[in-house]
Amino acid sequence: LNATEQLALPHLLTLLGPRTKLVAVQHVSNVLGAVAPVGEIVAAAQGVGARVLLDACQSVPHMPVDVGRLGVDFLVASGHKMCGPTGVGFLWGRGEVLEGMPPWQGGGEMIDQVSVDGSTFLPPPARFEAGTPAITQAIGLGAACDYLRTLGMEAVEEYEHELGAS
């Protein structure tokens, strides 16, 4: 952190190099509320050929988040921070990145075809969904997303700023 308790971006940039494969950073600090300069981090990571994973657990439930505009490769969020059930969250991945990744587990409905010589896998995201999903929790997370969308994330962010100013 720098003197204003923001991410020390110049220092972070010195840590990136040709051996860097993944840059993982939080979008918003759960302690200080500092918002990371995601655009600059993405540009620097791409400059060395690295992927970017954004921890959006603190931002998604509190402000509008446009994944496409952020330019990250992966984004994660937690259900319980979004008024949803515990034990569920999501991992979003950019389509072209997911297409190039092999599955990390096998089973369930992620298989396309099986033969004596091998198997093929469904396209993303199904390729990464081996086994029985947490169906009840996923339905609850969907309901929480609908609730937040109904409130409007701009309104949620504005209200939180009003509370902070009081």
Q: What is the pLDDT of residues 96-145, one digit of tens each?
A: 999 999 998 888 789 999 999 998 999 999 999 888 889 999 999 999 99
**Residue 140 burial (CB < 10 Å; 0-12/13-18/19+)?**
buried
Distance (Å, whole) CA 154 – CA 152: 5
Q: Global pTM?
A: 0.91
Please tell me the number of Cα atoms within 13 Å of 140 on its side-chain side: 17
Q: Is the pLDDT of residue 33 over 90?
A: no
For 107-131, give one letter per residue: b (16+ CB within 10 A) or e: eeebbeeeeeeeeebeebeebbbbe
pLDDT tens figures, 38-90? 999 999 999 999 999 999 999 999 999 999 999 999 999 999 999 999 999 99
